[in-house]
Amino acid sequence: MRIILTAILLALNEVPRGVLACSDEPAPMIGLDSRPHSDDGFFNGAPGIVLPPFDPVYLVGAYKMFSSAGLSPDETVALKGYNLSKQEWTRNYSYGISDSWDSAKYRLLSSDPRHEYVEKPDYGSYLNCSAETFDSAAALLEQRVSEYGADSPTVKDWVDAQETVFKNCLHTDKTAQVYLPEPLKSDSSPLKKDRAYQTAAAYFYAEDYKEARKRFMEIGGDSRSPYAKLARYLVLRSYVREAFRLEAYSEPQNELFRTAENAALKIISDPAMSGMHAPAERLLNLVRYRIAPEKELARLGAFFSGKWNAAQYDWNTNMRDYSSLLDSHLSDYKPADDMTDWIKCFSGAGAAEHAVRKWRSGGDSWLLPALSSMDLSGTSAQQKTLAEELLAAAAKIPDSAPAYDSLTYQRINRLSELGRNKEALALIDVLLQKPLDETSRMHVFAQKKRFASSLAEYLQLSLASQARRADEEWEPDYHSQDVLNTITPLRVFKDIVAYKALPSSARRAIFFPAWTQALTIGRNDAALELARTFRSQQIDSELNQALDKYIEAKSEAERSFRAAAIILENPGLRPYLHDPSPIENYGGCYNSEAYWADLSYSTDTANYAVNSEAGRMLSQQDIAEAARENAALSASEAPLLLFGRTILGYAAANPPGKETADALYAIVTNGPRAAGKAAAYSDIIKKSELLLNSKYRKELEAIKAAEKEAYESPGDEGGGN
């Protein structure tokens, strides 16, 4: 369980201004699983498509918006501010939390040195001294300066003591030294009450909670101390802090929590402690969160089912605890309130029959969980009848209703399960014609790709269902990648490259692996057809000029040479899609990862790919054809040898030229970097080197001169000057 500190307000009327508050207690927190596109749009009455995995703060808002009561203006403000409020936690997790104290010392005392009093906790710890601790100290310093003067020895003594107290904030080892303020020189000092509190606080920060508790009890029994009421509250906090030091959910921890529970109840029942009732209630809730989670969940469900606003003292803490308890206890919990019951059913933890009964009893908001929780696998006649009833009811909801988008989304799912694809597609078009937020549109496209008529269309819709920038290079999701690599034949790749609805970046990323594979397995006809298709689409690529020369070659020998040269000069090319997928020669950065050092692509995922959503776009003939091509790829000769021999033969048979020399040089320079397999290629590397130093000596000197010039040119990547 991740724990963080929650802010506890201590600046209450009954507490002296500037009292030193010990740090706040750990409180439960969970991360965000899913959320809408915009909090503003969602809580202002345009929730879009609400999904079961949404965080509880959104499900609370959805329940209220979908019910007759709706969200009040105060509730809207509270819900919209919840995620923003979590940003305030960062001050308690940064090295600047003592800024208020350092600033006060500088402003009031011209004290310049700053110290690091805290260290950033990890997810399994809490912050020993919070920002509030330093804020309170700064306020009290200002009060002491106004009382005694900035140059007063009394103020200096108080500040020195407080600095000593703060040394304990870095305390991480319970056996380490406790830093205690110096004893007062005079028993009549005006700082006597302050020093007693500072000393107790030092033990508290040093995590010696028993000694701290003893001293806070003494202070709490001194009616003349301005810290008496605060000290009684800090006794309670010492129990909670000590409990968190023990093994989670152990009996010793539970015993301390029960002791803390009794201490909290005593404070809350004491009218004289009214100023501490609210923070004590918060600690009581935290304790019950740990030892009686279902009772706490019931309290929170009742709280959020009623009317509330962001100004309420414990609103944010309640929402965090409610979210965490729903996450950990919802499946076994029997909700006492309608809202938690709705969230449970909509999240899939409740029975569909229960949701239907609630809807039939007049709960209009229950139509969504009733429709979303239906299981239509192996549908009986009774289930079909119920499905028709729910679908008909959802169809009557006006498109102006907050729940319309969510209900329509679930109607599409149910219609698809019933095989009524034409109706489902019609509803998809209806939703896509609406001004949906970006995230909701992505969800609709994710639905639509199930109805794609080809793999190319599926990839296009899959891309539309992903969050990405317009200028972002396409990379396949893992499911599509497996399908493209294991069960897609070269023939289908041509159709994908020609599919104009698919972004150019996607078609470019798909073309190069398919083209490389075709050449590697000797399917030169397919490679040429792929290249012609790709160039006809006018897609930008650094290799377009080289591809044009390949396409326009005057002989098969020249075409084979140009293909081999492209591959060996661009070691980022591979005969399969991968992540990340470098498709062109980005300098030498991929030389050590050249595909010819590791040709095979694992086909362990082929069975999964066949049964995947994308795999269903392919026929059995496609899959069988792809299997043969993959087998040929696995059995093919090492590409450095395969394409290297092509280059050597062409270089030996034709007059010297720069392009031929560049290809030979690629063998000589890139070959030895092939993942330690240079020995296997030594013969072809040696022959290429001999040919360069004899027939192509002039071209070789030009290549090396150009390299030297590039290296020495200021501003270039490899510039040496």
Question: Coil, strand or helix: which one is 208?
Answer: coil
- Higher per-residue pLDDT: 130 or 377: 130
Q: Chain-wide mean pLDDT for the chain?
A: 82
Q: How confident is the model at residue 347 (pLDDT cuts 50, 70, 90)?
A: confident
Mean pLDDT value across residues 261-267:
96
Q: Are 611 and 620 contacting, i.e. CB atoms less than 8 angstroms apart?
A: no
Q: Which two tokens stand for residue 382?
A: 């009774």
Q: How confident is the model at residue 679 (pLDDT cuts 50, 70, 90)?
A: low
Check residue 92 and give its pLDDT: 43
Give 3-state DSSP helix, strand, coil % of the chain, rounded to 5. 65, 0, 35
Low-confidence winner among 248-252, 505-509, 679-683 (lowest mean pLDDT): 679-683
Check residue 576 and give its pLDDT: 83
Mean pLDDT value across residues 7-28:
29
What is the 8-class DSSP label of residue 4?
E
What is the 8-class DSSP label of residue 572?
T
Low-confidence winner among 2-6, 400-404, 555-559 (lowest mean pLDDT): 2-6
Q: Are 169 and 205 contacting, i.e. CB atoms less than 8 angstroms apart?
A: yes
Low-confidence winner among 56-65, 397-406, 442-451 (lowest mean pLDDT): 442-451
Residue 119 has pLDDT above 80, yes or no: no
Q: What gap in Å lies between CA 671 and CA 677, rounded to an integer? A: 8
Q: How confident is the model at residue 720 (pLDDT cuts 50, 70, 90)?
A: very low
Q: Which two tokens stand for residue 271?
A: 């009218």
Check residue 89 and give its pLDDT: 43
CA distances from residue 559 to 532, 533, 645, 655 in whole angstroms, order as listed:
13, 16, 14, 16
Question: Coil, strand or helix: which one is 627?
Answer: helix
Q: Are 533 and 497 contacting, i.e. CB atoms less than 8 angstroms apart?
A: yes
* Sign of the CA dihedral with 30 first, then 36, 39, and 45 last: negative
What does R_g of the chain's alpha carbons equal in angstroms? 35
Check residue 537 and give its pLDDT: 93
- CB under 8 A, 24+ apart: contacts of 88-93: 88/7, 89/4, 89/5, 91/131, 92/4, 92/5, 92/24, 92/127, 92/130, 92/131, 93/4, 93/120, 93/121, 93/127
Q: Are 618 and 483 contacting, i.e. CB atoms less than 8 angstroms apart?
A: yes
pLDDT above 70 covers a percentage of the chain that reads: 80
Tell me the pLDDT tens digit for each residue of 463-497: 877 755 555 566 667 778 888 988 999 999 999 99
